[in-house]
Chain A
Amino acid sequence: MSKIRISVAAAALLASLALPHVAHATMTKGELVDFLKAVDLRQKSQGDWRSLIYMEQKEKGKVDVAYEAVVFRRSEDQKFIILFSQPKASQGQGYLRIDKNLWFYDPSVGKWERRTERERIGGTNSRRSDFDESRLAEEYDPEDNGEVKLGNYNAQVMTLHGKPDIDLAFPTIKLWVDKETKNILKREEYALSGRLLRTSFYSKWKKIYSESKKGDTWYPGEMRFYDEVEKANSTLIVIKSVDTKSLEANLFTKAWLESKSR
């Protein structure tokens, strides 16, 4: 008898592990939007931001490339800089976002080039939005896909559809968010055609106290992007350190970026 009970219990346990956990109650549109806003707010610094990052790109048939760069952000007017510091060949190169325009500077030619928001940063599979503040609630409408177990996490799954008249690199995103912490765990980005283009994993979430926010700001210690069209291509971003102290007033200018290469 005890053997039968053990067998039944084991079968029940196996069944519970095999079957995905499904939300017992679907979230309303309003709840989803609030959830998404919370995801954004968790990563918002509401002030200045400086981080040291390491980027590595693996591409099939090509030599791996690696960069070290510093990212500067100002939430107030959505200004943004990425300044490359390694390797030597890329020193002084950088991206500057001001007035909704993204500019690239190459000190070897001394020229500024206007780039689109969909620019692959340093030729990797990362975009400006991967380093900038999260604005998912502003740019997308969420759709509930229930809950699943992702590793050890209970994840809320959502499909985000780009809002009309907003220019987005990925019109559709599927998001897995840790229900408890509201940290993004996984992201799938789709083309207009519905084809899966990129899968991203976010891990080693860390927090830093932000004076301007009067609270903690969360950021992923590691981001991994996998190209789903050209398999074997991948990008790793590691955020080594973060500082939320105020930055110089004239930092987000072309002159400042140019001065870094002199």
Chain B
Amino acid sequence: MANFFLDFRIALRSLFQHRRRTLFLIVAIAGVTGLMVLLNALSTGISETMIRTATTLSSGHVNVGGFFKVTSSQCGPVVTDFAKVVDIVERNVPEMQHWVHRGRGWAKVISDTGSTQVGVTGIDIKNEPDFKRVVQVVSGNIEDLAQPNTMLVFESQVERLKVKVGDAVTLSAQTNRGAANTVDCRIVAIAKDMGLLSKFGTFVPVGTTRALYQLRPDTTGAIQIYLKPKYVPEVNAIAARLRKVLEEAGYRVMDPDANPFWMKFQTVNREDWTGQKLDVTTWEDESSFLTKTLMIVDGLRVVLLVILLAIVITGIMNTMWIAIRERTREIGTLRAIGMQRWGVLRMFLLECFQMGLLGTALGAVGGSVVAALINSASIKVPLGVQLFLMSDRLHLAVHATTLVKAGLTITLITTLAALYPAYRAARLPPVSAMSHFG
């Protein structure tokens, strides 16, 4: 142990002796670490925004939706007699925290001055505390959604429709039997945008969707199941179990398809069956068109970091070779006075470890500060970038565990980068090393 601390002090003194070189490497390591922290924060920010947005606006952690086909060429996204399905869910999903049911539809919203196609979600606002907590209302009162034929829209839809709270709009859609229908609604709340999903979504009371699509009271669009936090990583296993249980209960269940429900109409319409089929999906399925983008961002992040780390490792190795060449006599002297080979190895590894630790610490702090500054600036991004960021604002999420992981990873890599040069230095014969002129 005493030898270890001695080697530690020698390594530290050596770093101070070659200040310029050390500073250069520490800055490079800090830069890569800071970049890693920022990219991780961006990816985590996107992922968190996506989960928050998806599980508020369009999905539970697990969903039981489905399609009902009146004729083989026409389907509607409904679950009939849903109380029975809820009963099965409650008995077979002990991981569930709570469930809600929502209407699903697609309609044209027409105001006096504009129109737009939107997804229409029917909700029972009295039973959606999470929705009220997450959606930020900028104008109006979200509780008014309890009244019939009311509507909540988002800021970006207001730009297109040119409406305000209290204005009347018309919802125009086709029923599941293909008949044209309309419902007049009153805007009761305008909410802050929540990324891409909110650009195409509006919320109405569940009774309004039933009136628009002429559905019976025992029909809903989907049962959205919210799990206790510790079971959220197990969504896929729970969804698979639920599919099996529903099949055993006599329901026809669609094969797993990692796509949102609105991307399945063509496939379902092409199939020749009629009646009800259930579709069990997870939040990842319902926002898969977004998770694919996240995979691209993650992939780019990994590629960029690998390239940067390769450059840093090359720099470290090169510097170590130069250092060993310069300190060959010193190594010879240390070996002559009794330092073993593994002591020399340890000394050089400790030098790189200290550089890595200092560099990553500086980089982690720097990256966190930059992330905090970006978040506080609340930078609005263009629509094209929103497609990638899943948010209309740049949001970086920094977590302590991510910082520690980034620091340890890069410290380990920089330490290991010195392994081969240190090994070669340790194998120098003491006599020839002492007489080296370099």
State the A residues within 8 Å of B (CB): 60-61, 100-101, 113-114, 116-118, 162, 167-171, 189, 191-193, 195, 197, 229-230
Task: Report the separation of the CA atoms of residues A230 and B108 in the bound assembly, to the nearest whole angstrom.
Answer: 10
Q: CB of B84 within 8 A of chain A?
A: no
Our pick among B70, B71, B180 for the contact of A191 (Cβ within 8 Å) is B180
Q: CB of B299 within 8 A of chain A?
A: no
Task: For the complex formed, measure the closest distance between the CB of A233 and the CB atoms of chain B, giving whole angstroms.
Answer: 9
Q: CB of B170 within 8 A of chain A?
A: yes
Our pick among A60, A101, A171 for the contact of B179 (Cβ within 8 Å) is A171
List chain B residues, Cβ under 8 A from A191: 172, 179-182
Q: Contact at B269–A169, with CB atoms within 8 Å?
A: no
Binary contact track B151-194/A, C-beta < 8 Å → 1, others 0 = 00000000000000000001010110111111110000000000
Known pairs A170-B180, A192-B181 / 13 extra A-B pairs, C-beta < 8 Å:
A61-B114, A114-B269, A116-B73, A116-B174, A167-B71, A168-B178, A169-B174, A171-B180, A193-B181, A193-B183, A195-B170, A195-B184, A229-B182
Task: Report the separation of the CA atoms of residues A189 and B181 in the bound assembly, to the nearest whole angstrom.
Answer: 11
List chain A residues, Cβ under 8 A from B170: 195, 229
Q: Contact at B172–A113, with CB atoms within 8 Å?
A: no
Task: Report the separation of the CA atoms of residues A61 and B115 in the bound assembly, to the nearest whole angstrom.
Answer: 10
Range class of the B interface residue count: 20 to 34
Q: Contact at B178–A169, with CB atoms within 8 Å?
A: yes
Q: Contact at B180–A101, with CB atoms within 8 Å?
A: no
Q: Is the interface of A mostly helix, strand, loop or mixed?
A: loop
**Known contacts A118-B174, A230-B115: does B179 contact A168 (CB below 8 Å)?**
yes
CB-CB nearest in chain A for B214: A192
List chain B residues, Cβ under 8 A from A189: 180
Q: Which 10 A-B residue pairs are closest in the complex by CB-CB distance?
A: A192-B181, A195-B182, A191-B182, A191-B180, A167-B178, A193-B182, A114-B269, A191-B181, A118-B178, A167-B177
Task: For the complex formed, measure the closest distance between the CB of B281 and the CB atoms of chain A, giving whole angstroms.
Answer: 23
Task: For the complex formed, measure the closest distance between the CB of A240 and the CB atoms of chain B, giving whole angstroms.
Answer: 29
**Known contacts A114-B73, A116-B74: does B178 contact A229 (CB below 8 Å)?**
no
Q: Contact at A197–B178, with CB atoms within 8 Å?
A: no
CB-CB nearest in chain B for A190: B180
Task: For the complex formed, measure the closest distance between the CB of B172 and the CB atoms of chain A, giving whole angstroms.
Answer: 6
CB-CB nearest in chain B for A112: B270
Task: Report the separation of the CA atoms of residues A189 and B179 in the bound assembly, to the nearest whole angstrom.
Answer: 11
List chain A residues, Cβ under 8 A from B74: 116, 167
List chain B residues, Cβ under 8 A from A113: 266
**Known contacts A114-B269, A171-B179, A192-B214: does B73 contact A229 (CB below 8 Å)?**
no
Task: Report the separation of the CA atoms of residues A127 and B181 in the bound assembly, to the nearest whole angstrom.
Answer: 16
Q: CB of B57 within 8 A of chain A?
A: no
List chain B residues, Cβ under 8 A from A193: 181-183
Our pick among B110, B115, B175, B270 for the contact of A192 (Cβ within 8 Å) is B175
**Known contacts A229-B172, A230-B115: does B179 contact A197 (CB below 8 Å)?**
no
Task: Report the separation of the CA atoms of residues A101 and B70 in the bound assembly, to the nearest whole angstrom.
Answer: 14
Task: For the complex formed, measure the closest distance between the CB of B277 and the CB atoms of chain A, giving whole angstroms.
Answer: 17
List chain B residues, Cβ under 8 A from A195: 170, 182, 184
Residues B193-248 near A (CB distance < 8 A) = 214
Which of B114, B182, B270 neighbours the largest number of chain A CB atoms within 10 Å of its CB? B182
List chain B residues, Cβ under 8 A from A117: 178
Task: For the complex formed, measure the closest distance between the CB of B118 and the CB atoms of chain A, giving whole angstroms.
Answer: 15
Residues B243-286 near A (CB distance < 8 A) = 266, 269-270
**Known contacts A169-B180, A192-B180, A193-B181: does B110 contact A229 (CB below 8 Å)?**
yes
Task: Report the separation of the CA atoms of residues A167 and B266 in the bound assembly, to the nearest whole angstrom.
Answer: 20
Q: Contact at B180–A118, with CB atoms within 8 Å?
A: yes
Q: Contact at B179–A192, with CB atoms within 8 Å?
A: yes
List chain A residues, Cβ under 8 A from B180: 118, 169-171, 189, 191-192, 197
Task: Report the separation of the CA atoms of residues A101 and B73 in the bound assembly, to the nearest whole angstrom.
Answer: 7
Which of A169, A195, A197 neighbours the largest number of chain B CB atoms within 10 Å of its CB? A195
Task: Report the separation of the CA atoms of residues A223 and B33 in the bound assembly, to the nearest whole angstrom.
Answer: 69
Query: What are some 8 contacts across the A-B interface (CB < 8 A)?
Result: A114-B73, A114-B269, A117-B178, A167-B74, A167-B179, A168-B178, A189-B180, A192-B214
CB-CB nearest in chain B for A59: B115
Task: Report the separation of the CA atoms of residues A250 and B368 in the bound assembly, to the nearest whole angstrom.
Answer: 70
Task: Report the separation of the CA atoms of residues A169 and B181 in the bound assembly, to the nearest whole angstrom.
Answer: 9
CB-CB nearest in chain A for B213: A192
List chain A residues, Cβ under 8 A from B71: 167
Which of A61, A170, A197, A229 neighbours the largest number of chain B CB atoms within 10 Å of its CB? A229
Task: Report the separation of the CA atoms of residues A229 and B112 in the bound assembly, to the nearest whole angstrom.
Answer: 9
Task: Report the separation of the CA atoms of residues A189 and B180 in the bound assembly, to the nearest whole angstrom.
Answer: 10
Task: Report the separation of the CA atoms of residues A25 and B32 in the bound assembly, to the nearest whole angstrom.
Answer: 92
List chain A residues, Cβ under 8 A from B270: 114
Task: Report the separation of the CA atoms of residues A230 and B161 in the bound assembly, to the nearest whole angstrom.
Answer: 12
Binary contact track B101-114/A, C-beta < 8 Å → 1, others 0 = 00000000010001
Task: For the complex formed, measure the closest distance between the CB of A17 and the CB atoms of chain B, giving whole angstroms.
Answer: 36
Which of A60, A117, A169, A230 neighbours the largest number of chain B CB atoms within 10 Å of its CB? A230
Task: Report the separation of the CA atoms of residues A197 and B110 in the bound assembly, to the nearest whole angstrom.
Answer: 12
List chain A residues, Cβ under 8 A from B266: 113-114
CB-CB nearest in chain A for B111: A230
Task: Report the separation of the CA atoms of residues A113 and B178 in the bound assembly, to the nearest whole angstrom.
Answer: 17
Task: For the complex formed, measure the closest distance between the CB of B214 and the CB atoms of chain A, giving whole angstroms.
Answer: 7
Task: Report the separation of the CA atoms of residues A167 and B177 in the bound assembly, to the nearest whole angstrom.
Answer: 6
Task: For the complex formed, measure the closest distance between the CB of B182 and the CB atoms of chain A, giving whole angstroms.
Answer: 4
Task: Report the separation of the CA atoms of residues A195 and B182 in the bound assembly, to the nearest whole angstrom.
Answer: 7
List chain A residues, Cβ under 8 A from B214: 192
CB-CB nearest in chain B for A111: B266
Binary contact track B301-321/A, C-beta < 8 Å → 1, others 0 = 000000000000000000000
**Known contacts A101-B73, A113-B266, A118-B174: does B179 contact A169 (CB below 8 Å)?**
yes
List chain B residues, Cβ under 8 A from A170: 179-180
Task: For the complex formed, measure the closest distance between the CB of B407 and the CB atoms of chain A, giving whole angstroms.
Answer: 50
